[in-house]
Amino acid sequence: MLGKNDILDSLLRECEISKHLATKIPGGDTSFQPCDSQRTMLELMRYQSFCGLGGTYAMYDGDWDRYRELSQAAETLEAKDFDAAMDRQADGLRKFFGDLSDEEFSSRPAKTPLGEELPLGRTLLELPVKWMTAYRMQMYLYCKQAGNDEIWTPNCWAGIDMERPVAN
């Protein structure tokens, strides 16, 4: 059975992988966007800088007040401040999970944005963890689409540089 530290560790890993991917943006150009209807790289980074913690608060609180506060604060984030923002998010997640009892994690009811009621732990897995993973993957794909042909699977899933095997 997954415990609160497993969810925390997963969220923290997503923070680290996102920071790694931010170093892979071709030319540091955060204005890239695949099409007009999608976020720019910078807008994506702004969202990533709070969505794990904001989503965690929203599921715990049962409202979106603290999420909105974090979202508004992220609107002015500059790319150079992304690492620090991700570190602040990680610190906030550590504090939240440190204060959360195992009982609350496993049995406190929480509602998803669609109104489904689940135990808090399951809700945190279904929403903040998956949001962080999905938007990290989007950042990876943006980097690839913007022209970084050097990154590959380990960059996306482990946040590490790794030499590709040589094909025979």
Distance CA 153, CA 148 (A): 13
- For residue 141, being part of any structural domain is answered with yes
| SS3 of 72-141 | HHHCCCCHHHHHHHHHHHHHHHHHHHHHCCHHHHHHCEEECCCCCEEEHHHHHHHHHHHHHHHHHHHHHH
Number of domains in the chain: 1
The reported pTM is 0.95
The pLDDT profile of the chain, 168 residues, written as one tens digit per residue, is: 789 999 999 999 999 999 999 999 999 999 999 999 999 999 999 999 999 999 999 999 999 999 999 999 999 999 999 999 999 999 999 999 999 999 999 999 999 999 999 999 999 999 999 999 999 999 999 999 999 999 999 999 999 999 988 766
Q: What is the CATH number of the domain that holds 83?
A: 1.20.120.450
- For residue 42, being part of any structural domain is answered with yes
Q: Which residues of 57-93 are buried (b: 16+ CB within 10 A; e: fewer)?
A: bbbbeeeeebbeebbeebeebebeebeebbebbbebb
- For residue 77, being part of any structural domain is answered with yes
Domain with 27 in it: 4-157
Instruction: Sort 103 into a burial class: Cβ within 10 Å, 0-12 / 13-18 / 19+.
Output: exposed
- For residue 165, being part of any structural domain is answered with no
- For residue 119, being part of any structural domain is answered with yes
- For residue 164, being part of any structural domain is answered with no
